[in-house]
Structure 1
Amino acid sequence: MTNSDSTDNDQQASYVTAERPFERDTRYIETRITRDGRDGYPVEPGRYRLVVSYACPWANRAIIVRRLLGLERAISMGVCGPTHDKRSWTFDLDPGGVDPVLGIPRLQDAYFARIPGYEKGITVPAIVDERSGAVVTNDFPRITLDFETEWVDYHRPGAPLLYPEELREEIDEVNALVYRDVNNGVYRCGFAGSQESYDAAYDRLFNRLDWLSERLATQRYLVGDTITEADIRLFTTLARFDPVYHGHFKCNRQKLSEMPVLWAYARDLFQTPGFGDCTDFDHIKRHYYQVHRDVNPSGIVPKGPDLANWLMPHGREMLGGRPFGDGEPPAPL
């Protein structure tokens, strides 16, 4: 499948045929923004703009991490609308359809400023150098890790340790399993090209969700007793499960709200500052149902489910744990 035919939610090129399962194109721009500036882009407050869409789970991670760490003053944020065309995300939420800082109507303009005629996926999240107007990186797994480790001098007072050094090996192990079977697993179900590939992805997804339920039955968070990068990566998929993945991607053994442990865990995070206030269910639903026309040809966006139950008591505090460790939550928006 070519870029122009891509239906993946982050406009990332993906490949699927009847003979083989969905494969995500992971050819990202891997330039990093670091304290020593070894790739030519040093950490510098006020220089970079994080471009996101609230619809995209990969971008949603970056939004949450930026808020939890208090990087709003150091890194500005541009928000694309919930839908995109076959080539690019657009700034249709801004007056005149132009990003007020970058001065461009389409994210592809920033990609072309870095690599003329860029042929890979025009994806969010992307970090743009405001000086040149060029994309620095769209390597979404690395972006949040670098926010946590390279931008520490600009974290807010009381910011949590989302990637503590002593837990990194375990966090990385959990993240790899969750990415393979859950984060990307829902896409392997939704874009399966055959019954066989769908069945395999479905079984792998729900086996991993059962494993996560067992793990989280006796501990409040995935790794350690505080919120970490691992919780953020799982949360953005769980938040989309009932509104989108259960029906749209045929992940329908159970709804999230029918899996007691994961449902309580997801509500616990949603009600934690930095999670629910960075989640937009309207954008999520509009994106998947309106953009994935090969899955939903009519483009009709369902009215349900009722989302008020996200605010129901979760009872997870009985397991102990300290959401922000020795820190404190971010100030209300």
Structure 2
Amino acid sequence: MSVIPLTAHTPTRSEPAFRGRIGSDARSGHYAVPGRYRLHLSTACPDGLRIAVTHSLLGLGAVCPASLLPALPDTPEGGHAVLRPLYEASAHRYTGPAAAPVLSDDWSGRIVSTHAPDIMRDLAHRFGGDGPSLYPCGAESEIEAIERMCAEGIEDAAQRAGRPGGGQEERDAALAKLLETLGALDRWLEGRTYLIRDEVTAADVELWVALVQLDTVHRHHLDASAVQRIAACRALWSYARRLTAHPAFGRHLDLTGIARRHHAHCRGLEAAGAAVQILDWAQHAAH
């Protein structure tokens, strides 16, 4: 798949506080042992949703249990109180938010990682077992390209297109980038079931979560005309509909939680596009 060149900008994902990795043997420190690690996730958060879908696709419920957190943080600094002991045990005098997602080590009571891409890769590479090959050999560069397209060409572009503080020229350029990215993906998906292989991969997880965010969050700040142009990418939204019907995807959709999280963090003004829902996510997830 050819990748659209994307302009440089500030990443939408914040820099993680912890970047440990699960290794292949005892020399790594965090070596792969079933039952040793635990996930702490809020599926209302995009990174939490990505990890939850990956976890389900790999069938790791018993190997690496997952604890689900509320949609909204419950501490003044924007973290989860239940995660505070993990953060304090992992960093001396830690003063930042005890934020999710977290991969923790039950043996030490400390955090391994808060970096979603690393967590997803380690789950797949170290505990994948009989699940699908989410990071197939030779596909890493393609998956990384999709990650960039989703982060920059969809999520960041959609945010900038609906940002009230910017000028009209900036918003128009961001919308053009968003439509260009969606159009390229729409053309690529014509006649395809999955994005880069004949079975589901991590690229599909990335794109599906980006499309969920686009329709449930970002469209609220776009005008109706823009949302109608986005909805015109029929192959793309048909693809999103198929994945939503897959149990590993649709059952993790917390639409109420996503809405609560959006309203708690949103500083923009609602536009006419808020009334133009592209997919009935709840209906497709139920099927």
Query: Same fold per TM (> 0.5)?
Result: yes
Kindly indicate whether residue 107 of structure 2 is the aligned counterpart of residue 113 of structure 1: no
- Going from structure 1 to structure 2, the CA distance change for 1:249 and 1:218 (only over 3 Å counts) comes to same
Match of 1:42 in 2: 31
Q: 104, 125, 145: which is aligned to 2:101?
A: 125
CA distance in structure 2 between the partners assigned to 1:293 and 1:265 by the alignment: 28
Match of 1:89 in 2: 79
Match of 1:179 in 2: 151
Q: TM-score, normalised by structure 2?
A: 0.82
Match of 1:214 in 2: 187
Q: Secondary structure at the match of 1:33?
A: coil
Q: 223, 230, 233: which is aligned to 1:259?
A: 233
- Going from structure 1 to structure 2, the CA distance change for 1:309 and 1:236 (only over 3 Å counts) comes to closer
Output one character per residue of 1:233-292: Cα deviation in whole Å (capped at 9) or x when no partner: 010121232222101477971256443121101001001120101211111111111x21
Identity score, percent: 28
**8 Å Cα contact 1:243-1:304 kept in structure 2:** no
Q: Cα offset for 1:50?
A: 0.3
**8 Å Cα contact 1:35-1:151 kept in structure 2:** no
CA distance in structure 2 between the partners assigned to 1:56 and 1:253 by the alignment: 25
Q: Cα offset for 1:187?
A: 3.8
- Going from structure 1 to structure 2, the CA distance change for 1:186 and 1:43 (only over 3 Å counts) comes to farther
Match for 1:36: what amino acid? D
Match for 1:115: what amino acid? A
CA distance in structure 1 between the partners assigned to 2:238 and 2:58 by the alignment: 24
Q: Secondary structure at the match of 2:197?
A: coil
Q: Cα offset for 1:190?
A: 5.2
Match of 2:243 in 1: 269
**8 Å Cα contact 1:222-1:230 kept in structure 2:** yes
Q: Cα offset for 1:37?
A: 4.4
Root-mean-square deviation (Å):
3.0
CA distance in structure 2 between the partners assigned to 1:252 and 1:45 by the alignment: 50
Match of 1:148 in 2: 124
- Going from structure 1 to structure 2, the CA distance change for 1:172 and 1:293 (only over 3 Å counts) comes to closer
CA distance in structure 1 between the partners assigned to 2:224 and 2:21 by the alignment: 35
Match of 1:60 in 2: 49
Kindly indicate whether residue 57 of structure 2 is the aligned counterpart of residue 72 of structure 1: no
Match of 1:278 in 2: 252
Name stretches of at least 5 consecutive residues in structure 1 with no aligned partner. 1-19, 91-104, 313-333
Match for 2:262: what amino acid? Y
**8 Å Cα contact 1:112-1:118 kept in structure 2:** yes
CA distance in structure 1 between the partners assigned to 2:102 and 2:79 by the alignment: 11
CA distance in structure 1 between the partners assigned to 2:96 and 2:47 by the alignment: 17
Match of 1:9 in 2: none
- Going from structure 1 to structure 2, the CA distance change for 1:277 and 1:23 (only over 3 Å counts) comes to closer
CA distance in structure 1 between the partners assigned to 2:162 and 2:13 by the alignment: 13
Larger mean CA deviation between 113-122 and 35-44 belongs to 113-122
Q: Secondary structure at the match of 1:214?
A: helix
Q: Cα offset for 1:39?
A: 4.2
CA distance in structure 2 between the partners assigned to 1:119 and 1:199 by the alignment: 39
Larger mean CA deviation between 132-141 and 199-208 belongs to 199-208
**8 Å Cα contact 2:22-2:31 kept in structure 1:** yes
**8 Å Cα contact 1:246-1:252 kept in structure 2:** no
Match for 1:68: what amino acid? L
Larger mean CA deviation between 273-282 and 248-257 belongs to 248-257
**8 Å Cα contact 1:110-1:133 kept in structure 2:** yes
- Going from structure 1 to structure 2, the CA distance change for 1:62 and 1:295 (only over 3 Å counts) comes to same
Structure richer in helix, relative to its length: 2
Output one character per residue of 1:300-327: Cα deviation in whole Å (capped at 9) or x when no partner: xx99959646646xxxxxxxxxxxxxxx
Q: TM-score, normalised by structure 1?
A: 0.71
Q: Secondary structure at the match of 1:161?
A: coil
Match of 1:5 in 2: none
Q: Cα offset for 1:151?
A: 1.7
Q: Secondary structure at the match of 2:242?
A: helix
Q: Cα offset for 1:45?
A: 1.4
Match for 1:227: what amino acid? V
Kindly indicate whether residue 194 of structure 2 is the aligned counterpart of residue 194 of structure 1: no
